[in-house]
Amino acid sequence: MCTTCGCGTDQVTIDGKAHSHGHDHDHHPDHEHGHGHHGHDHGPAHSHAAGVGADRAVAVEAAILAKNDAEANANRRGFTANGILALNLVSSPGSGKTTLLVETIRRLAGDFPIAVIEGDQQTSNDADRIRATGAKAVQINTGKGCHLDAHMVGHALEALAPAQDSVLMIENVGNLVCPSAFDLGEAHKVVVLSVTEGEDKPLKYPDMFAAADLMILNKCDLLPHLEFDAGLCEANARRVNPSIQVLRVSATKGDGLDAWLDWVKGAARVARSRRIRGAVGTGCGASCTCA
Amino acid sequence: MHEMSIAESVLGIVEETARREGFARVKEVRLEIGRLAAVETEALRFCFDAVVRGSVAEGARLAIDETPGTAWCFGCSATVPLQSRGDLCPRCGGAQLQVNGGTEMRVKDLLGT
């Protein structure tokens, strides 16, 4: 891992390019050397220092994901200062996230600018679908990585430069496990679950449903053909997260989309009013309802 | 497999601490991982051993203190133990539970020389 900027992998690309930094380094495999730990125990200074060779315990007390959380908070401060509503869309692969996004952009195009960060292990297919709507999109390819982190999103934001008072949709890597642990700086995580999956998914993958503020139950037009119990699914989601909101939609047929669009508009109004009130630095977190 | 990212973050903290303390070698790293932190500790051990190769912490022993999960039960109006998310309240059997402990992920301390 690069210890200057924290890049976890050499395989991450943004729109097909290795991402650039303010500081200078190329991500060649040798870059982990030069941290200075080779030869520490050979220097003459060390041999004269008191206590050398004795084991010593030191308290660290550091949050393991502190670095990601700090970068997420930096992203969040940027969103707040610019009135940008950032949503982190998470789901298993194939739940219909991209179709939902395409329909959302199409219907909200007149209300505010929408920009999209797409996360996938490989291909720019999803970003291409978004760009076809006219919206700005940046594709992050995580290589072997199973989730987006705040650092990748920070670099994608440099390329994307979302407009003031816009909506930023971050479509995470399709994975119901890993993305739950990584704050990207978003206002809300939105978990998309399609009715062709099991109604017990919230119980099987509880961390994601616990981390989300809203669950979108997608592909509801298929319910008459399935033995999926939507009520049970909602009850399971509330069992791991009593405060989760639920919307039933069909992104392809349009059912229930108005309620989702109203939810986005309401959250965007909150983001804009925070900018206007200059709420940066007042300690209002993502879950604050003071606006 | 986000345990690999977590192991890399642990190594980052260990390397920074070792530099600050002037350690030539780190022999043991102790973590605190909550039961509800969404971390598979065996996977984390595997990833840790892989990422520390060639670093100041190569071969270091990884000690993991697991802290218990707890939740606020709206039915009992009390904090109750929780083995895993989605479990019912062990006191009243209710499902209205908000996790309030056991999500910690910290590097507690390390032993170096």
- Per-residue pLDDT, averaged over B7-32, amounts to 97
pLDDT at A3 over 60: no
- DSSP per residue over B36-78, as a string? TS---HHHHHHHHHHHTTTSTTTT-EEEEEEEPPEEEETTTTE
pLDDT given at position A278: 80
pLDDT at A41 over 50: no
In this prediction the ipTM stands at 0.88
A37 chain-B contacts, CB cut-off 8 A: 15, 18-19, 24, 55-56
Please give the Cα distance from A100 to A26 (Å, whole number): 37
| Mutation site, A9, A60, A142, A176, interface B, largest B CB count within 10 A | A60
pTM value is: 0.83
Please give the Cα distance from A75 to A185 (Å, whole number): 5
8 Å CB contact of B1 and A146 = yes
pLDDT given at position A33: 41
- Per-residue pLDDT, averaged over A241-245, amounts to 94
**Which residue of B19, B98, B107 is in closest CB contact with A64?**
B107
Give me B64's structure tokens.
């993991």
pLDDT at A6 over 60: no
Q: How confident is the model at residue A284 (pLDDT cuts 50, 70, 90)?
A: low
8 Å CB contact of A58 and B13 = no
Please give the Cα distance from A108 to A124 (Å, whole number): 23
Please give the Cα distance from A56 to B112 (Å, whole number): 5
CA torsion A126-A127-A131-A132 (nearest 10°) is: -20
- Per-residue pLDDT, averaged over A210-233, amounts to 97
Q: Are A287 and A188 in contact (CB under 8 A)?
A: no
pLDDT given at position A145: 83
pLDDT given at position A245: 98
pLDDT at A46 over 80: no
Please give the Cα distance from A171 to A214 (Å, whole number): 15
- DSSP per residue over A210-273, as a string? HH-SEEEEE-GGGGGGS---HHHHHHHHHHH-TT-EEEE--TTT-TTHHHHHHHHHHHHHHHHH
Please give the Cα distance from A114 to B99 (Å, whole number): 34
> For chain B, how big is the Rg over CA atoms in Å?
17
pLDDT given at position A241: 93
pLDDT given at position A31: 41
B95 chain-A contacts, CB cut-off 8 A: 235, 238-239, 242
pLDDT (tens digit per residue) in A105-139: 999 988 999 999 999 989 999 999 999 999 999 99
pLDDT (tens digit per residue) in A145-178: 889 999 999 999 999 999 999 999 999 999 998 8
Q: How confident is the model at residue A244 (pLDDT cuts 50, 70, 90)?
A: very high
pLDDT at A15 over 70: yes
pLDDT given at position B97: 92
What crossing angle do the helices spanning A66-81 and A257-276 adopt, rounded to 10°? Answer: 80
Tell me which chain B residue has its CA closest to the CA of residue A40.
Answer: B24
8 Å CB contact of B25 and A41 = yes
A32 chain-B contacts, CB cut-off 8 A: 54-55
Environment class of A145 (CB within 10 Å of its CB; exposed 0-12, middle 13-18, buried 19+): buried
- Per-residue pLDDT, averaged over A70-78, amounts to 96
Residue A171 has phi, psi (to 5 degrees) of -90, 110
Give me A105's structure tokens.
């952009």
pLDDT given at position A50: 46
- Per-residue pLDDT, averaged over B48-62, amounts to 96
Sequence-distant (6+) residues with CB within 8 A of B55 are A32, A37, B11, B14, B15
pLDDT at A38 over 50: no
CA-closest candidate to residue A97, choices A206, A180, A168, A171: A171
- Determine contact: B6 vs chain A, CB below 8 A: yes
Neighbours of B84 (CB within 10 A): 13
Q: From the CA of B91, how many Å to the nearest CA of chain A?
A: 16
pLDDT given at position A54: 87
Q: Which residues of A57-94 are buried (b: 16+ CB within 10 A; e: fewer)?
A: eeebebbbbebbbebbeebbebbbebbbbbbbbbbbee
pLDDT given at position A281: 53
